[in-house]
Structure 1
């Protein structure tokens, strides 16, 4: 199974360690095409590699098209993640969004109100692991 994991990069990196923990769970069920989202200094690494915004856009869309499922951590608002989710919905990809309701950010109605998106509210990776794995097993 190819898994596209989405999480905020330019919108804020305060959840990088959380993303890495979620990616560890996902890697037990397939190939995470976007494992770099869970690494520190991802923007710096992209710059050092000489990746332009066009390169990143084209690569991410290729991975998104390849993916069997999309898992997005949506607690930190991100224009990029929102865009990716919109494309995934249009391409009828199975989508699971993870959201921590204790955060300072309210969840967008565009996610909460979309009945084609599985929404899992959680506080810890351990607390959401079984539900996330159940989503992956259904798809």
Structure 2
């Protein structure tokens, strides 16, 4: 399964960065993690176009929502607009926008987690 990971990059807290790194590592070990442009070089338009194409290539968009991010919110909405399934996850002890937690789209699920292994299990169990 090809997975596009949407996550806060520019505003990710020091506490969240290792969680996102572990998530990437464990997703790569179990699935095909599609590359995305984050803070590396590249013009904003090229980064946008690349990441949009990767969402089209994905079988699933995994959205890590523990840190508020306009980019992640956009990616969730865009993925659903092109009929891609979206699994949105957030650490169990953080506040998440009700626009994320209350989305009723049939190809969308929001789930909280305490460990990254719980996210991997959620991916394996995700049904559209």
Query: TM-score with structure 1 length normalisation?
Result: 0.79
Cα distance in 2 between the residues matched to 1:59 and 1:71: 17
Shift of 1:98: 0.8
Which residue of structure 1 aligns with residue 32 of structure 2? 31
TM-score between both structures, scaled by the size of structure 2: 0.85
d(CA) in 2 for partners of 1:128, 1:54: 31
Q: 1:23: Cα distance to partner? A: 1.9
Aligned residue number for residue 66 of structure 1: 57
Aligned equivalent of 1:126: 117
CA RMSD, Structure 1 to Structure 2 (Å): 1.9
Q: Tell me, yes or no, if structure 1 residue 109 matches structure 2 residue 98.
A: yes
Structure 2 CA distance for partners of 1:129 and 1:30, relative to 1, 3 Å: closer
How far the C-alpha of 1:35 sits from its partner, in A, is: 6.3
Partner of residue 39, structure 1: none
Unmatched tracts of structure 1, length 5 or more: 37-41
SS in 2 for 1:11: coil
Whether 1:6 and 2:6 are equivalent positions in the alignment is yes
Q: Which runs of 5+ in 2 are unaligned?
A: none
- What secondary structure is seen at the aligned counterpart in 1 of 2:68? coil
Structure ranking higher in helix proportion? 1
Cα distance in 2 for partners of 1:66, 1:126 equals 24
Assess, with a 3 A threshold, how the Cα gap between structure 1 residues 65 and 129 changes in structure 2: closer, same or farther: closer
Q: Is the radius of gyration larger for structure 1 or structure 2?
A: 1
